Structures are given as structure tokens and as C-alpha cells.
Amino acid sequence: MPKINRYEDINEIDREAKKDYIDRHSPFVHCEPSATAGEAFKVTVKVGNEYSHPDDMDHHISGVALYNKDTKLAEATLLAGALGGQGEKGNATVTFDVVLTKNASLVAQSYCTKHGVWESDAVSVAVA
């Protein structure tokens, strides 16, 4: 199993020194705090909050996946060049429509072809 990088696993001193590196690889989950059971619910995952990731052939974000606890809900594959190509930088952003039936704890993972898997903090969604 590949190592999963998490923002919280990096000590505070390294976090500040490597802030741009950590941020540009980390996925961030954006959604409403509540959903209606059985109805489509939009969840946006953005890789990088303050910093953009390279979009080179040998170094790019190639995938984003969304989980509810241990269950994969959705996945998107991104090809090199999707954000402008060689020498360009961008924030991979994917919006998923998912259907939730009970309270959820959403976590996203992004995959960098050079630096592996990165995981977001969990976001709680109350389902009524």
C-alpha cells in the first residue's frame, strides 16, 4: 500500500518551511454541511488551496477520489495537460454529484505522479 501523505503528519516547523509543497498537493473538500437523503449532493474537491501544482508530462495530479469513511463514492482521472500543459500550473478541481443516505464523513485523496497520495481532512455532512 502506498504511503498516504497528510498535512497533520508533518511537524509544525516543516509545515511552515514546506507550506507551498504541502498545499499544492493536498486536496480540500468543499460542500454544504447538510444534505437531503437520496438527493444529489454536490461536493467539490480542489487540489491546492493557496498554491498551484505543475501540469508537466512527468509531474501532475493524475487523479482525485472521494470517500465516505472507507467507501469510495467517486473518482476522476486527470491527464497531463488538462490544466494547460508543460510549464503551466493550476489547481485540479473536480465537482462530484453524490447521493448520501446517512451522515457522512467525506475525505478526498489526490495522486501526484511524482509525490504519491495526499489525503484531505474529513468533512462532516449531516443527512436528513
For 27-78, the pLDDT digits (tens) are 999 999 999 999 999 999 999 998 999 999 999 999 999 999 999 999 999 9
Question: Among residues of the chain, what percentage have pLDDT more than 90?
Answer: 73
Lowest mean pLDDT among 15-19, 29-33, 63-67, 90-94: 15-19
- If you write DSSP's letter for every residue of 67-114 in order, what string do you get? EETTEEEEEEE--TTTTS-TT-EE--EEEEEEE-SS-EEEEEEEEETT
Domain boundaries, the chain: 4-127
Residue (of 37, 96, 107) closest to 67 by Cα position: 107
Query: What pTM value is reported for the model?
Result: 0.88
CATH number 2.60.40.730 given to 4-127: yes
Maximum distance among all Cα pairs of the chain, rounded to whole angstroms = 46
